[in-house]
Amino acid sequence: MKQRNKYDLIVVGGGHAGVEASHVAAHLGCSVLLITMDSKAIGRMSCNPAIGGLAKGQIVREIDMLGGLMGKFADNAGIQFKILNRSKGRSVWSPRAQIDKRLYEKFVISAMQSTNNIDIIDGEVVNVLVSNYRVDGVTLRDRSNIYANSVVLTCGTFLSGKIHIGDRKIFAGRMGEGGSIGITESLCSLGFKSSRLKTGTPPRLISSTINWDNTEISSGDSSPTPFSYSTQEFNPPNEPCHTTRTNLQTHSVIKENLNKSPMFSGEIDGAGPRYCPSVEDKIHRFSHHDSHILFLEPEWLGSDQIYLNGFSTSLPEDVQLDALRHIPALKNVEFFRPGYAIEYDFFPPAQLRATLETKDVAGLFLSGQINGTSGYEEAAAQGLVAGINAYSYIYEKESLVLGRSSSYIGVMVDDLITKDTLEPYRMFTSRAEYRLMIRYSNTDERLLKISEKMGLLNSSLSKIINSRLLEKERVRSVLNVSIQPDSGSGIKNLKQATPAKELLKRPECSIFNMGLDFSSEENNDSMPAWAWNEMLLDVEAEIKYAGYIKRHIKEIEKHKNNEFLPISKMTNYSTFCGLSNEAVEKLTFVRPETLGQAMRVSGITPVDISVLLVNLSK
């Protein structure tokens, strides 16, 4: 493709962050150039063939509600859908899907190629052009410059990427694709700080070499829930996954070879994800466990290639094989490719504003794994935020900054810009203090208005969601009726007429067993079964949690004034009497934009905040 010399926006990288950033900016009206090292790998899933999961499923819903692509493509390419955590409280239920990776990539590439306003070129960016603290464009490896008003960098694990398999080292961004050098050096010469992180991936097994009779089947939900609000009737495949377990012989092979694992031996400097440990780490840290579960996940429908979830490793290939062949189901196993670890450069995200624009170079945005996160969903969400805010920057519109009480995306961005990044950041429900309020099932209510205001939703979807929310109101009003003791509802210990919504607070009562009729012409006609069911469950959840939610709302109100109190980026903290040295150092590096952000900077104490308040009010 012959590209122009000047665009509104250049997006560097065609991973999950780059795809959402390019698409949303183009949708909003920007001319976009997407530069990526391999245009055939746009939207590639580097690791597990799954989207969603704990807290990540909530993020995919939010991406969808803000006009992003991930949820729609996951619905179309999904081969097994499941709501996780059903045995726990409703606030932590999370949708997850097993994905046909090839199909997913196909959908993404086709969408990117057919979006007006996006040009795509294969190329490697080696330098970011900046003048007067504003970004001007980028330089490619062939030394040509391309100019833009704004640039979003989404380089994933590619910057100075180095793969480790035992003592084998490969310069790469991920297996089969070369790494990239230049951007780190370019940003560091402008004063940015970079650091190193690591992550790992398990081996891919040849399906025909697995003894399937020795595995357990794990299926999806029989009534599946999609990610996207635009999905109507939903009948995806329910392809089974399988499980097996490691045993003491597997563990002993791994223990004997721990010194050959660069991920474990300390040969790799960068920190890895504690929450997603390598199998070496698991066996060392949890040495009292005789066995660990392994999931055998197909990489696409009918795939001969199986992803061995739970066995991320950087041991030499022969050791990986030896360890696995002690498991009956894997006694004859062969690999398509071994597991490996990768280390790469990232930029501590405290250098960013809440819009994901860098604090020091106007118009330059960073999103995805380059910010120290891990995961497709985290990357896609940041790409979306960066793409929207790049558009807002170029056309001088209002920025998108989501709050911690409105979304997981808001929690993630706030954590990234205020907390130390000591290991790859992934989302958990426990990171969201208001998780009772930000359920996957009320994403539409939480984000519809903001999405409409920013022009992110097409009008037909907006109409559908508005009419579903009206239905939800109607269901709430049905719950205002009182249930009589003699109504035949089957509710125990009902001595006097009581409003249904009061009874629903009882643990034994469910919205489905109170003998109430919620049907109407509207839901009979247009609401798919999954949406109707999800809406009833969500109304039930908000009633059961009402007391806690009320407390949260009170707390949010209380902190409102301090939360948005602006702090100038020129603030000289060393002149503030009473601030500890650590606080001065942290605040000087992070340069929080509001008092709320300052309160959440790692290491900042309530005493530091009182000192800040006194000094700022002067």
Binding region for ligand FAD (CB under 6 A): 12-18, 35-38, 41, 46-48, 124-125, 154-158, 173-174, 180, 183, 199-201, 276, 342, 368-369, 374-376, 379
Q: How far is the CB of 231 from ligand FAD (least distance, A)?
A: 23
Nearer to ligand FAD, 51 or 503 (CB): 51
Nearer to ligand FAD, 22 or 442 (CB): 22
Q: How far is the CB of 256 from ligand FAD (least distance, A)?
A: 25
| Cβ–Cβ < 8 Å for 586, 599 | no
Contacts of 312 (CB under 8 A, 6+ apart): 200, 201, 202, 276, 277, 278, 279, 339, 341
CA–chain centroid gap for 589, Å, is: 26
- 400-to-57, 373, 393 alpha-carbon distances in Å: 21, 20, 11
Nearer to ligand FAD, 15 or 592 (CB): 15
Query: Encoding tokens for residue 437?
Result: 């309020």
| Cβ–Cβ < 8 Å for 602, 418 | yes
Q: Which residue has the tokens 């469910």?
A: 510
Q: How far is the CB of 377 from ligand FAD (least distance, A)?
A: 7
| Residue 571 DSSP one-character state | -
Ordered DSSP codes for 75-117: HHHEEEEEEE-TTS-GGG-EEEEEE-HHHHHHHHHHHHHHSTT
In 3D space, the residue among 611, 567, 614, 616 whose CA is nearest the CA of residue 593 turns out to be 567
Nearer to ligand FAD, 275 or 548 (CB): 275
Q: How far is the CB of 543 from ligand FAD (least distance, A)?
A: 34
In 3D space, the residue among 285, 272, 286 whose CA is nearest the CA of residue 314 turns out to be 272
Q: How far is the CB of 205 from ligand FAD (least distance, A)?
A: 16
Q: How far is the CB of 39 from ligand FAD (least distance, A)?
A: 9
| Rounded-to-integer distance, Cα 10 and Cα 123, Å | 12
Nearer to ligand FAD, 364 or 595 (CB): 364
Contacts of 570 (CB under 8 A, 6+ apart): none
Nearer to ligand FAD, 115 or 615 (CB): 115
Q: How far is the CB of 241 from ligand FAD (least distance, A)?
A: 16
Nearer to ligand FAD, 161 or 403 (CB): 161
In 3D space, the residue among 45, 48, 13 whose CA is nearest the CA of residue 158 turns out to be 13
Nearer to ligand FAD, 159 or 536 (CB): 159
Q: How far is the CB of 140 from ligand FAD (least distance, A)?
A: 8
Q: How far is the CB of 214 from ligand FAD (least distance, A)?
A: 25
Ordered DSSP codes for 398-456: ------TTT-HHHHHHHHHHHS--SS-B---GGG-TTTTTS-GGGHHHHHHHHHHHTT-
Q: How far is the CB of 50 from ligand FAD (least distance, A)?
A: 9
For the chain, how many residues are written? 618
Q: How far is the CB of 61 from ligand FAD (least distance, A)?
A: 17
Nearer to ligand FAD, 13 or 387 (CB): 13
Closest residue to ligand FAD, based on beta-carbon distance: 156
Instruction: Give me Rg for the CA atoms of the chain.
Output: 25
Residue 383: in which H helix or E strand, if any? helix 376-394
In 3D space, the residue among 216, 226, 182 whose CA is nearest the CA of residue 295 turns out to be 216
Q: Which residue has the tokens 């300052």?
A: 598
Reduced to 3 states (helix: H, G, I; strand: E, B; else coil), residue 223 is coil
Query: Encoding tokens for residue 192?
Result: 């940015």
Nearer to ligand FAD, 37 or 604 (CB): 37
Nearer to ligand FAD, 408 or 576 (CB): 408
Nearer to ligand FAD, 9 or 17 (CB): 17
| Rounded-to-integer distance, Cα 183 and Cα 48, Å | 27
Nearer to ligand FAD, 93 or 307 (CB): 307
**Angle at CA of residue 66, ends 61 and 69, nearest 5°:** 70
Q: How far is the CB of 237 from ligand FAD (least distance, A)?
A: 23
Q: How far is the CB of 361 from ligand FAD (least distance, A)?
A: 17
Nearer to ligand FAD, 11 or 253 (CB): 11
- 114-to-13, 45, 108, 382 alpha-carbon distances in Å: 18, 21, 10, 23
Query: Encoding tokens for residue 503?
Result: 């009874």
Q: How far is the CB of 375 from ligand FAD (least distance, A)?
A: 3
Query: Encoding tokens for residue 432?
Result: 């969201």
| Cβ–Cβ < 8 Å for 601, 592 | yes
